[in-house]
Amino acid sequence: MKTEGDAPRASSRFWRLLISIRLTVFLLLSLAATSIIGTLVPQNASPQDYVRAYGEFLYRLFYVLDVFDMYHSWWFQTLLVLLTANIVACSIDRLSSLWETVFVKTPGFRLSAFRKLKDRESFSVQGSADALEARYAAAAARRFTYTRTEKTGEGFCIFAEKGRWTRLGVYIVHFSVVFLLMGGLIGSIFGFDGFVNIPEGETVQAVRLRSGGGEQPLEFAIRCDDFQVSFYETGAPKEYRSSLVILEEGEEVLQKDIIVNDPLRYRGINIFQSSYGKIPGDLKATLEKGISLSFTSRASGMVYRETALVGKPVALPEGGGTFTVKELLPSYRFMGQQDLGETLVGSLASPDGGTTEVKLPIRFSRFDKMRKDARFVIAVDEVVEERYYTGLQVTSDPGVPLVYAGFVLMILGCIVTFFMSHQRLCIDVVGRGRKTMVTVSGAANKNRAGIQATVRQMSRRLNALDRG
């Protein structure tokens, strides 16, 4: 990549910019600063609201700059892409050399370098150096992943190290950021975010998209059998619960009650409880199945119930003639005044041949009592209940596994980077006549206090080992 293009100078300058931490700091701060805009200006509201809030001129300016949907604007996305490029370029640049450092077969140690270190502890023991070698080597091997013993002029030294791989921690963090951005990109290209309202008992096969307002067909159907909402005594909502059934080609394949925070996932599609509402009952459907009417006899006080279908005369008891349901009016103004809502119209044929038109407003069951000289008071018996509909959020996001992998990597990478280090230790054993000097010294790529503690512990352990 470094030598691409016919102007190597320019391209290498570009590359140097791309791998510079200056660019990183600039991008991070720019993202932080520009992100604020979108929290000050409400996003994705209606143009009318914006014009009212900001006036014509600012509205036009903001519109041109994509401020109203800034997190999806070209310039914000460009910052994100640059950030990704910055991380990837840096990783390529550093990782190739770091890789060799991390994956060496035999790590190099220089005794002279260790002898200059400040972080060291010394003690002396009786006896010769050689007698200590095996025990010391074993003690070091217990605490470190790699150890090696070398003879020196006056004795021996043990090199030990651990955590070499932790140098890769930063790159784990950086790759996690790339994972997140890739996952987000995949989600926005291949996923969708829709919603649908399903009245109880009904089935849908498509959902409405949140952005753009188009329709997204589904490969299966969703039926809502039941919706329930419960409340605390305080009036706050306690639970929203929808009983859903998934149907494939008419076959029920899955049943699940969903509540908020416990969605239904099927074939890569997620179905979330999101809202609810009420719709008036479906009278027409009831009417087709037969509507239950009550006839209260004024003479005997008896109540008779009959199921009536449109156009089919019902014989009244006590020889009272017949009643025929004719039609359902969506609204009915009584005496040209108040609208009584949905009203059933029927005709009453008395045994003596006269017919009377009867109006039965559904919601006013005692309305027919007003009819003078009637033998029967008629009412629609079962008031058709309002029904709930459940509001479902229906999404598909194939980027989620990548994003979640990024989440895990980021946490692991941060732990490695912040709290683990590459520790290198040297146990330098020098024979001085009948006495032997032992010096433990160490260095780490970070966390000085950590290596100091390791040196102290190792020195104490070796010293104790000798006594015991």
Partner 1 sequence: MNSSSILSIVTFVYGLSALLYIICLIFRKDAPGRAATWTAILGVAGNILGVGLRWVESYQLGYGHAPLSNLYESLVFFAWAIVTIYLFVERRYKNRVIGAFTMPLAFLAMAYASLSPNISDRIQPLIPALKSNWLIAHVITCFLGYAGFAIAFGISLMYVVRERPGGQGPVSSRFPEPATLDDLTHKMVQFGFLFLSIGIITGAVWANSAWGRYWGWDPKETWSLITWFVYATLLHARLMRGWRGRKIAYISILGFMAVLFTYFGVNLLPGLHSYGAQ
Nearest-approach distance from CB 236 to partner 1, in angstroms: 6
Nearest-approach distance from CB 354 to partner 1, in angstroms: 59
> 244 to 273, contacts with partner 1 by CB under 8 A?
259-263, 270, 272-273
- β-pair type (192-199, 387-396): antiparallel
Contact partner, 263, from partner 1, ligand HEM, none, Cβ < 5-8 Å per class = partner 1
161-191 exposure pattern, b = at least 16 Cβ within 10 A, e = fewer: bbbbebbbbbbbbbbbbbbbbbbbbbbeeeb
CA 342/CA 328 separation, integer angstroms: 7
Contact partner, 387, from ligand HEM, partner 1, none, Cβ < 5-8 Å per class = none
Using CB under 8 A as the binding criterion, the count of chain residues that bind partner 1 stands at 50
Q: Which residue is nearest to ligand HEM (CB)?
A: 90
Contact partner, 161, from partner 1, ligand HEM, none, Cβ < 5-8 Å per class = none
Nearest-approach distance from CB 27 to ligand HEM, in angstroms: 6
Q: Which is nearer to partner 1, 110 or 418 (CB)?
A: 418
Q: Which is nearer to partner 1, 168 or 314 (CB)?
A: 168
Contact partner, 94, from ligand HEM, partner 1, none, Cβ < 5-8 Å per class = ligand HEM
Q: Please list, in sequence order, all residues whose beta carbon lies within 8 angstroms of the beta carbon of residue 254, skipping any fewer than 6 positions away.
A: 245, 246, 264, 266
Contact partner, 31, from ligand HEM, partner 1, none, Cβ < 5-8 Å per class = partner 1
Q: Does 299 bind partner 1 (CB under 8 A)?
A: no
Nearest-approach distance from CB 211 to partner 1, in angstroms: 12
Stretch that binds partner 1, among 10-18, 42-50, 364-372, 460-468 (CB under 8 A): 42-50
| Order of strands, sheet of 343-349, starting from the edge strand that comes earlier in the sequence | 314-315, 322-329, 343-349, 355-361
- Give CA 419 to chain center in angstroms: 29
- Could you please report the per-residue DSSP string of 7-56? -HHHHHHHHHHHT-HHHHHHHHHHHHHHHHHHHHS-SS--HHHHHHHHHH
CB-CB contact of 241 with 247 (8 Å):
no
CA 234/CA 231 separation, integer angstroms: 8
CB-CB contact of 330 with 417 (8 Å):
no
CA 252/CA 222 separation, integer angstroms: 10
CA 416/CA 413 separation, integer angstroms: 5
367-384 exposure pattern, b = at least 16 Cβ within 10 A, e = fewer: bbeeeeebbbbbbbbeeb
Nearest-approach distance from CB 76 to partner 1, in angstroms: 10
Contacts 24+ apart (CB under 8 A), 328-334: 328/283, 328/284, 328/287, 332/359, 332/361, 334/359, 334/361
Contact partner, 376, from ligand HEM, partner 1, none, Cβ < 5-8 Å per class = none
Q: Does 64 bind partner 1 (CB under 8 A)?
A: no
Q: Which is nearer to partner 1, 28 or 81 (CB)?
A: 28
Contact partner, 174, from ligand HEM, partner 1, none, Cβ < 5-8 Å per class = ligand HEM
Q: What secondary structure, in 3-state letters, does 452-465 show?
A: HHHHHHHHHHHHHH
Q: Which is nearer to ligand HEM, 19 or 325 (CB)?
A: 19
Binding mask 154-183 for partner 1 (x = CB under 8 A): ------------------------------
Q: Which residues bind ligand HEM (CB under 6 A)?
A: 19, 21, 24, 83, 86-87, 90, 94, 170, 173-174, 177, 414, 417
Q: 212: burial class by Cβ within 10 Å (0-12, 13-18, 19+)?
A: exposed
Contact partner, 87, from ligand HEM, partner 1, none, Cβ < 5-8 Å per class = ligand HEM
Q: Does 240 bind partner 1 (CB under 8 A)?
A: yes
Q: Does 39 bind partner 1 (CB under 8 A)?
A: yes
Q: Which is nearer to partner 1, 147 or 273 (CB)?
A: 273
CA 393/CA 210 separation, integer angstroms: 10
Q: Which is nearer to partner 1, 356 or 447 (CB)?
A: 447
Query: Residue 5 carries which DSSP code?
Result: S
> Which residue from 403, 426, 443, 451 is in contact with partner 1, where contact means CB under 8 A?
403
